[in-house]
């Protein structure tokens, strides 16, 4: 498959080059800080997949983020064997995917779509937050691990492969490599046979059924993939901070990824990635400066972005770049013009 020469792809290459070189340029704190931002990118990418590609509007990615984070914590703290932590990671991701599949099955085969998926997933995440919040007592134990209620679980072990503990640069590159793999997969997926069917479902779900596609099955499959990505995000977050609370299921956790992907450009994975990193960096800088207007500024930026540039700020910039530099005028969403077909 030939990679098309356009603004987005050039920017993507530049971004990844920058990420790979980053540890050479900065101190240890900044590297771990970027590793934390990159962990949150997976959450945005899960929405790029299910919402951007397939049109499934979900406020529930936080559900898989949190469940897998808690699972990893309970699994690794109970086993006590640090070499089993990779198994915790793999199982956590699988569990997220399976739960997403089951949830998707009930929703999509039941004919639930569009705004109702958003409502149901939002309710689910808030229910989980409330439930986990009241697990403070000692009866709320799984094995030897107290769920901790609102205080959450801390001192969760880092990932250890063999005798090698992943912290600092090693953790950073681990996350970055997986991010690169996921990114390439998502770019490839968009033009694969399944990916094309997924986009068709987004564009006109009923029509796609009438073209012979088992739409609920494909939706569940994509939703499961999105769940697995959100789970990956949750576990990476736990590996970075060694801590998880019910606020992982909270309203902010549920809605911010949706807003970020909308503001950046939901149909474009590079836009989602770039906007997420920029947002986290910008909001952190505001917080560090102690500006009392930090939250207001952020809110305004997001509102303005979505109101005036509904296709997404970064995605629109890519499009502008294409028009200027590549004389690209086709507005086709699959952007196949000029490229060799598969």
Partner 1 sequence: MSKEAVLLELRHVGKYFGGLRAVDDINIKVESGDLHCLLGPNGAGKSTIFKMIMGIYKPTNGSVFFNQRNVTHLKSWDRVKLGISIKMQTPGVFGELTVYENMKIAVQHFTRHAEVKSEVSRLLELLMIRDLKDELVDNLSHGQQQWLEIGMALACKPKLLLLDEPAAGMGPEETDRTAELIRQLNQQGITILFIDHDMAFVKKLARNTTVLHLGRKFAEGTVEEIETNQQVVDIYLGKS
Partner 2 sequence: MNNRKKRKSLSLLLVFVLVLAGILSGCGKSSGSNDDSKTIKLGVLEDRSGDFSLVGIQKYHAAQLAVEEINKQGGLLGKKVQMVAPDTQSDNKRYQEMAKRLILQDKVAAIMGAFSSASREAIRPIMDQNKMLYFYNNQYEGGVADNMTFNTGAIPEHQMVPLIQYMIKKFGPRVYTIAADYNFGQISAQWVKKTVEANGGKLVNEEFIPLGVSQFSSTISRIKKAKPDVLVTLLVGQDQSSFYEQWSKSGDKSIPMASTVNMAQAYEHKRFAAPALANMYVTATFMEELDQKYPSAKKFVDKFYKKFPNDKYVGMEAESEYTGIMLWAKAVKKAKSTDTDKVIKALESGISYDGPAGPVTIDPKTHHAIRNVYLVHTDAKQKVHIDTEWKDVKPDWLSKEKNVDLTKKQEAKQYTPLK
> What residue ranges bind partner 1 (CB under 8 A)?
193, 196-197, 199-200, 203-204, 206-215, 330-334, 336-337, 341
Within residues 154-173, the interface with partner 2 by CB under 8 A covers: 154-155
Q: Does 149 bind partner 2 (CB under 8 A)?
A: yes
- Report yes or no: 180 and 105 within 8 Å, Cβ to Cβ: no
How far apart (Å, rounded) are the C-alpha atoms in residues 160 and 167? Answer: 9
Within residues 275-304, the interface with partner 2 by CB under 8 A covers: 282, 284-285, 287-292, 294-295
155 binds, among partner 1, partner 2, none (CB under 5 to 8 A by kind): partner 2
169 binds, among partner 1, partner 2, none (CB under 5 to 8 A by kind): none
How far apart (Å, rounded) are the C-alpha atoms in residues 177 and 174? Answer: 5
Residue 92 or 148 with smaller CB distance to partner 2: 148
Question: Measured from the CB of residue 216, what is the shortest distance to partner 1 in angstroms?
Answer: 9
* Size of the chain in residues: 342
Question: Measured from the CB of residue 330, what is the shortest distance to partner 1 in angstroms?
Answer: 7
331 binds, among partner 2, partner 1, none (CB under 5 to 8 A by kind): partner 1
Q: Does 332 bind partner 2 (CB under 8 A)?
A: no
**3-class DSSP string for the chain:** CCCCCCHHHHHHHHHHHHHHHHHHHCCHHHHHHHHHHHHHHHHHHHHHHHHHHCCCCCCCHHHHHHHHHHHHHHHHHHHCCHHHHHHHHHHHHHHHHHHHHHHHHHHHCCCCCCHHHHHHHHHHHHHHHHHHHCCCCCCCEECCEECCHHHCEECCCCCEECCEECCHHHHHHHHHHHHHHHHHHHHHHHCCHHHHHHHHHHHCHHHHHCCCCCHHHHHHHHHHHHHHHHHHHHHHHHHHHCEECHHHHCHHHHHHHHHHHHHHCCCCHHHHHHHHHHHHHHHHHHHHHCCCCHHHHHHHHHHHHHHHCCCCHHHHHHHHHHHHHCCCCCCCCCCCCCCCCC
Residue 60 or 133 with smaller CB distance to partner 2: 133
From residue 31 to residue 50, the character string flagging contacts with partner 2 as x (rule: CB under 8 A) and all else as - is: -xx--x--------------
Question: Measured from the CB of residue 166, what is the shortest distance to partner 2 in angstroms?
Answer: 15
Residue 296 or 334 with smaller CB distance to partner 1: 334
Within residues 121-140, the interface with partner 2 by CB under 8 A covers: 130, 133-134, 136-138
Question: Measured from the CB of residue 144, what is the shortest distance to partner 2 in angstroms?
Answer: 12
Residue that is written with structure tokens 């033009």 in the block = 191
Choose one: 53-61, 62-70, 92-100, 150-158; the region binding partner 2 (CB under 8 A): 150-158
Q: Does 78 bind partner 2 (CB under 8 A)?
A: no
Within residues 176-235, the interface with partner 2 by CB under 8 A covers: none
Q: Does 25 bind partner 2 (CB under 8 A)?
A: no
Residues contributing to the site for partner 2 (CB under 8 A): 27-30, 32-33, 36, 130, 133-134, 136-138, 148-152, 154-155, 241-243, 245, 247, 252, 282, 284-285, 287-292, 294-295, 313, 316-317, 319-321, 323-324
């Amino acid at each position: 498959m030939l990679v098309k020469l356009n603004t987005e792809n050039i920017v993507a290459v530049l971004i990844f080059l920058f990420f790979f070189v980053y540890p050479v340029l900065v101190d240890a704190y900044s590297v771990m800080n970027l590793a934390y931002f990159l962990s949150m990118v997976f959450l945005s990418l899960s929405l790029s997949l299910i919402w951007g590609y397939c049109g499934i509007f979900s406020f529930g990615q936080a559900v898989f983020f949190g469940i897998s984070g808690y699972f990893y914590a309970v699994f690794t703290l109970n086993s006590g064997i640090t070499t089993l932590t990779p198994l915790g990671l793999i199982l956590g991701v699988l569990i997220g995917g399976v739960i997403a599949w089951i949830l998707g099955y009930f929703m999509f085969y039941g004919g639930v779509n569009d705004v109702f998926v958003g409502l149901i997933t939002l309710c689910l995440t808030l229910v989980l937050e409330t439930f986990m919040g009241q697990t403070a007592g000692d009866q709320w134990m799984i094995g030897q691990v107290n769920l901790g209620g609102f205080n959450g679980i801390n001192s969760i072990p880092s990932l250890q492969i063999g005798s090698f503990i992943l912290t600092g640069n090693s953790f950073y590159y681990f996350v970055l490599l997986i991010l690169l793999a996921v990114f390439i997969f998502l770019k490839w997926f968009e033009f694969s046979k399944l990916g094309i069917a997924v986009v068709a479902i987004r564009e006109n779900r009923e029509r796609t059924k009438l073209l012979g596609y088992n739409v609920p099955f494909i939706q569940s499959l994509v939703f499961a993939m999105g769940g697995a990505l959100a789970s990956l995000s949750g576990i990476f977050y736990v590996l970075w901070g060694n801590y998880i609370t019910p606020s992982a299921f909270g309203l902010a956790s549920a809605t911010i990824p949706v807003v970020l992907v909308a503001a950046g450009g939901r149909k474009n994975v590079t836009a989602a990635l770039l906007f997420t990193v920029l947002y986290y960096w910008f909001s952190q800088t505001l917080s560090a400066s102690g500006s009392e207007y930090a939250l207001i500024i952020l809110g305004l930026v997001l509102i303005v972005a979505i109101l005036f540039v509904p296709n997404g700020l970064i995605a629109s910039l890519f499009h502008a770049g294409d028009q200027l530099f590549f004389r690209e005028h086709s507005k086709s969403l699959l952007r196949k013009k000029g490229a060799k077909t598969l």
